[in-house]
Amino acid sequence: MTGESSLTFLVFCLGAVLLWHAVAAAGFWPDYVFPSPTGVFSALVHGIDDESFLHGTIASLKRMAMGFFIALAIGIILGLAISQSRHLERTLGTVVLGVQTLPSICWLPLAVLWFGLSDKAILFVVVAGAVGSITMAISSGISNVPPIFINAARSMGAKGPALYYEVVFPAALPTIVAGVRQGWSFAWRSLMAGELIYVSAGLGQLLQVGRELNDINQVVAVMLVIMSIGFLIERLFFTSIEMDIRKKWGLGAKKA
């Protein structure tokens, strides 16, 4: 973001908070239904102060990282396999595509039946949420590499792993990054949902604790934390990778 646009954004946020404050202060609803900015802010400070948000964030991110990398590993293997064989594409590829349409939270009941209310169940849901998008992105990214790139590379003596590493993967990268990004966002959503249902020590549980205590300030504060983490990962990680690809490939600047 440029200086000017971050200033615009700051002004917008300030305005939104002021509006929020005004509505809360007008007293249409009791403050246990509609929290005020100050209440949420103090819950935020409290959560940061007693380090519960920090521990929650660490617990959630650890799960996220683990689940996501497992999903990445499975997705790469499946995606590569599907891209190599027309038969696998028609069979396994179709199944993955179908399974991918299942909202990832729908895996949760199955996960609980298999693993009980445990970390394993949550991990399972995270992996299940991400693996479909990643698999599809890798297989379609690879199958859609223009044959002219492959022919040019082979004609220059590229073959075997070098052909994949130097040509097929870089050529498929825009599709792969988009799919991995989608995979991450599905996984993040299913992780939060999974953490709601059990003593998971993650951000999802903090949300649930807030509900149980009827503490709407904590609920909204945790929501803000979850949102910020998601936003940061999108911005710092995926957006910067995509911008780099766009710049190289000349795909035009993304709308600011």
Partner 1 sequence: MKAKVSGKAAREGRAAKISIRGVSKEFLMKDGKLSALDGIDIDVLEGEFLCVVGPSGCGKSTLLSIIAGLEKPDRGRVLLDGNEVRGPGPDRVVMFQESALFPWLTAVQNIEFGLKMKGVDAKERRLLALKFLKLVSLERFQNSFVHELSGGMKQRVALARALAMEPEVLLMDEPFAALDAQSRDQFHFELQQIWMKTGQTIVFVTHNVSEAVCLGDRVVLLTYRPGKVKKEFLVDYPRPRESRGVPKLAAIASRILSELKVEFERYMKEALHDGRE
Per CB under 8 A, residues contacting partner 1 are 148-149, 151-158, 162, 166-167, 170-171, 173, 245, 247-250
* Least distance in angstroms from the C-beta of 244 to partner 1: 10
Measured from the CB atom, is 87 or 248 closer to partner 1? 248
Side chain identity, residue 213: L
Measured from the CB atom, is 155 or 214 closer to partner 1? 155
Cα distance between residue 128 and residue 112, in whole Å = 13
- Please state at what angle helix 203-212 crosses helix 216-232, rounded to 10 degrees: 160
Cα distance between residue 81 and residue 206, in whole Å = 40
Measured from the CB atom, is 86 or 247 closer to partner 1? 247
Measured from the CB atom, is 44 or 168 closer to partner 1? 168
* Least distance in angstroms from the C-beta of 249 to partner 1: 5
Measured from the CB atom, is 27 or 250 closer to partner 1? 250
* Least distance in angstroms from the C-beta of 241 to partner 1: 13
* Least distance in angstroms from the C-beta of 144 to partner 1: 14
* Least distance in angstroms from the C-beta of 22 to partner 1: 49
| Residue 175: C-alpha distances to residues 46, 76, 144, 146, 170 (Å) | 42, 13, 9, 13, 10
* Least distance in angstroms from the C-beta of 82 to partner 1: 23
Contacts of 85 (CB under 8 A, 6+ apart): none
Measured from the CB atom, is 127 or 138 closer to partner 1? 138
* Least distance in angstroms from the C-beta of 175 to partner 1: 13
Measured from the CB atom, is 16 or 152 closer to partner 1? 152
